């Protein structure tokens, strides 16, 4: 399969890329190409111009800035999975990156491409919701910061404007008392998440003092099951209470349905995986398992 013809551009700075994005009609950014090129081969996308971000080294950096972990949009899944800095300061993100696709996909695909593409079954959105991430987007009028709670707006849609470039994902450090886990029920053929649940919780005297959960694969976009979070904060951490809270994990969500999983089955998986992810995060955060 061969994509339709297009013009190829290779800027060496974000500034140049941004200018191209404003000047070239209907141009698309190319990151790892592992969502975009398959769409172009199927002619589901036919951009007349591709702007390759692959040679902008500044976008590939992962660095710690005081107590914020800054991940360049072009950092590959493998870089994130294997980075000592990510493993130390945001272990939940490293764990999640290691569960994306396969070795070859993780070598090529990038976090920026994944979140900009916003596949409803992508893995990162769950972890980024649980970690309270922020996104930095460069546009014609300068940079702006978007909070994760406002970022994923629907099926394949985000708060990014077509003329903006996502440059960074910023994460507050997970502190030592925070336990986290990402559990995924992978589609047996595609490997994408039928259900993926990320949980991060900080224990204080046997009770979760702070908890954030992100769920992907289930609704049109990844979401936080706020009713579950609220039920768990400040309550004794026990398997029974976690299971009761997790029962609300798919409530009020327009649950996806496909050939592999009915919405009823997917909602069931959501409750089970939420319970397991929260329990595991709690154990890792130092709670005794009952």
The H or E element spanning position 266 is helix 263-284
Provide, rounded to whole angstroms, the least separation between the CB of residue 123 and ligand FAD: 4
Q: How far apart are CA 170 and CA 162, in angstroms?
A: 21
Cα atoms found within 13 Å of the Cα of residue 170, Cβ hemisphere only: 14
End-to-end CA distance of the chain: 54
Would you count residue 114 as binding ligand FAD (CB under 6 A)?
Answer: yes
Site for ligand FAD in 164-223 (CB under 6 A): 165-166, 191-192
* Interaction residues for ligand FAD, span 13-32 (CB under 6 A): 28-32
Q: Provide the minimum distance between the beta carbon of 213 and ligand FAD in the complex, in angstroms, as a whole number.
A: 18
CA distance 271 to 290: 19
Residue 49 C-beta: closest distance to ligand FAD, Å:
11
Q: How far is the CB of 26 from other proteins (least distance, A)?
A: 11
What span, in angstroms and rounded, lies between the C-alpha atoms of 278 and 18?
A: 41
The item of other proteins, ligand FAD, none sharing an interface with residue 259, based on CB under 5 to 8 Å by kind, is: none
Q: Closest Cα partner for 244 from 264, 230, 265, 224?
A: 230
Q: How far is CA 207 from the centre of its chain?
A: 27
Counting contacts by CB under 6 A, is residue 54 touching ligand FAD?
no
Angle between helical axes of 263-284 and 239-246 (0-180°, round to 10) = 150
List the structure tokens of 23: 């000047």
Among residues 35 and 231, whose Cβ is nearest to ligand FAD?
35
If binding is defined by CB under 6 A, does position 97 make contact with ligand FAD?
A: no
Shortest distance in whole angstroms from residue 11 CB to ligand FAD: 12
The answer to whether residues 72 and 61 touch, using CB atoms and an 8 Å cutoff, is yes
- Considering the complex, state which of residue 186 and residue 209 has its C-beta at the smaller distance from ligand FAD: 186
Q: Provide the 8-state DSSP code for 55.
A: G
Residue ranges binding other proteins (CB under 8 A): 1-8, 10, 30, 33-34, 37-38, 41, 48, 50, 52, 54, 78, 82, 101-105, 107-108, 191
- Cα dihedral across residues 221, 227, 231, 234: positive or negative: positive
> CB of residue 101 vs other proteins: minimum separation in angstroms?
7
Of 141 and 175, nearer to ligand FAD (C-beta) is 141
Is 109 an interacting residue with respect to ligand FAD (CB under 6 A)? yes
**Interacting residue ranges for ligand FAD, rule: CB under 6 A:** 28-36, 38, 53, 73, 100-101, 105, 109-110, 112-114, 116-117, 119, 122-123, 160, 165-166, 191-192
């Amino acid at each position: 399969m061969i994509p339709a013809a297009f013009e190829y551009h290779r800027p060496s700075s974000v500034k140049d890329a941004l200018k191209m994005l404003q000047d070239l009609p209907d141009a698309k950014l190319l990151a790892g190409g592992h969502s975009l090129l398959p769409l172009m081969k199927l002619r589901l996308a036919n951009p007349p111009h591709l702007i390759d971000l692959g040679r902008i080294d500044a976008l590939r950096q992962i660095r710690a800035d005081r107590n914020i972990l800054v991940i360049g949009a072009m950092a590959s899944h493998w870089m994130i999975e294997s980075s000592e800095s990510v493993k130390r300061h945001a272990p939940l993100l490293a764990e999640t990156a290691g569960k994306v696709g396969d070795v070859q996909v993780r070598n090529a695909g990038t976090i920026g491409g994944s979140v900009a593409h916003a596949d409803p079954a992508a893995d990162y959105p769950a972890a980024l919701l649980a970690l309270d991430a922020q996104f930095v987007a460069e546009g014609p009028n300068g940079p702006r910061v978007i909070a994760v709670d406002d970022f994923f707006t629907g099926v394949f849609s985000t708060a990014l404007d077509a003329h903006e470039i996502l440059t960074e994902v910023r994460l507050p450090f997970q502190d030592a008392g925070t336990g986290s886990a990402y559990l995924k029920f992978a589609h047996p053929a595609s490997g994408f998440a039928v259900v993926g649940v990320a949980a991060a919780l900080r224990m204080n005297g046997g009770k979760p003092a702070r908890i954030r959960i992100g769920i992907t694969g289930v609704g049109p976009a990844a979401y936080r099951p706020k009713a579950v979070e609220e039920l768990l904060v400040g309550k004794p951490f026990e398997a029974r209470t976690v299971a009761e809270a997790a029962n609300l994990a798919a409530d009020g969500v327009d649950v996806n349905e496909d050939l592999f999983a009915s919405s009823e089955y997917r909602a069931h998986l959501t409750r089970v995986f939420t319970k397991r992810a929260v329990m595991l995060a709690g154990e890792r955060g130092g709670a005794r398992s009952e």
